[in-house]
Amino acid sequence: IDIHRDALDKYSAEMTKLAMRIASIMATDLGVDQEALVGAFRDKQQSMAIHHYPPCRHPDKVIGITPHSDGLGLTLLLQLDDTPGLQIRKDGRWLPVRPRPGTFIINVADILEVLTNGAYKSVEHRVLADAEKGRTTIVTFHEAYVDGMVKPIPEVLKLNGAEARYKSIERIEYIKGNFVALSEGTRFLESLKI
């Protein structure tokens, strides 16, 4: 078990570095100081999940993971095989995301959409079962917030002279609201839009 723990600890540390690098690139793209976005992720919670979807003889009768958007800041997904299944919704249609060896899939999550005042949009996605092959992924979720709040980053608003498109909410209230919405099959993000 210690061997696996060491490997997971190292993987976790590398995923944190990658998330910070992505946040830095996004800040540059937004035209704000890197610390404005990187600071929202720094020293925040990271969680990890390893998912295995076994082959299913009747994939048309089940779904691997129901449609949803991720609630935190940034999601990094590493697929360990070439089995398809991940789909994203774009313009009302489900589109497959083809797995590519050695690459990560990066999902903008709901909090990041709020932080960037909608400049980056979270993505609704689902996972379908495969009739013949299993699918295994390692997913890391990176939380982000500013001063204990889920709100548009002030620097993003100042730069563009924009009005906030999302309400500010305390982090704990956001988490509670997001869990309730998930249980109801809705998106809490919609309730934050102004």
Q: Which domains does the chain have, with CATH numbers?
A: 2-192 (2.60.120.330)
Query: Residue 184 above 60 pLDDT?
Result: yes
Q: Specify the pLDDT at position 186.
A: 87
How far is 174 from 180, CA to CA, in rounded Å?
A: 10
How far is 108 from 119, CA to CA, in rounded Å?
A: 11
Q: What average pLDDT does range 116-137 have in this prediction?
A: 93
* pLDDT tens digits, one per residue of 95-106: 999 988 889 999
What's the pTM value of the predicted model, to 2 decimals?
0.91
Q: Specify the pLDDT at position 73.
A: 94
Q: What average pLDDT does range 16-32 have in this prediction?
A: 96
Asked if 155 and 35 count as a contact pair (C-beta separation under 8 A), the reply is no
Q: What average pLDDT does range 56-78 have in this prediction?
A: 88
Q: Specify the pLDDT at position 60.
A: 82
| Higher pLDDT among residues 172 and 63, named by residue | 172
Tokens found for residue 143: 């939380």
Based on the number of CB atoms within 10 Å of its own CB, is 132 exposed (0-12), middle (13-18) or buried (19 or more)? Answer: exposed
Report the chain's mean pLDDT, rounded to a whole number: 92
Q: Residue 105: CA atoms inside 13 Å, Cβ hemisphere, count?
A: 21
Q: What average pLDDT does range 17-33 have in this prediction?
A: 96
